[in-house]
Amino acid sequence: MRKALMAAVVLPFALGQAGVALAQSAPDNQRNSGSNQASSELFYMIQQLQGEVRRLQGEVEEQRHQIERLQQQGRDRYIDLDQRILDLSEKVASRSEPDSDEGAGSVGPDGSAPALVAREYRQPDAEERKAYDQIQDLIRNQKKYDEAISRIYEFLDEYPEGDLTVNAYYWLGEVYLVKPQLEQAKQAFTIVATRYGDHRKAPDAVYKLGVTHDRLGEKEEARRSMQTVVEDYPSSSAANLARKFLESQNS
Nearest-angstrom CA–CA distance, 130 and 140? 15
Residue 23 has pLDDT above 90, yes or no: no
Model confidence at 91: pLDDT above 90: no
Q: Can you give the pTM of this predicted structure? A: 0.58
In the predicted structure, residue 164 carries a pLDDT above the cut 50: yes
**For residues 98 and 19, which has the higher predicted lDDT (pLDDT)?**
19
pLDDT in tens, 126-145: 999 999 999 999 999 999 99
CATH architecture of 68-89+119-193: Alpha Horseshoe (1.25)
By C-alpha distance, which of 173, 189, 193 is closest to 181?
173
Output 158 or 51, whichever has higher pLDDT: 158
Between 13 and 230, residue with greater pLDDT:
230
Residue 99's pLDDT band (cuts 50, 70, 90): very low
pLDDT at residue number 36: 73
Sorted by where each begins, the domain ranges of the chain are: 68-89+119-193, 200-251
Alpha-carbon span 168 to 134, nearest angstrom = 12
Mean pLDDT computed over 101-122:
52
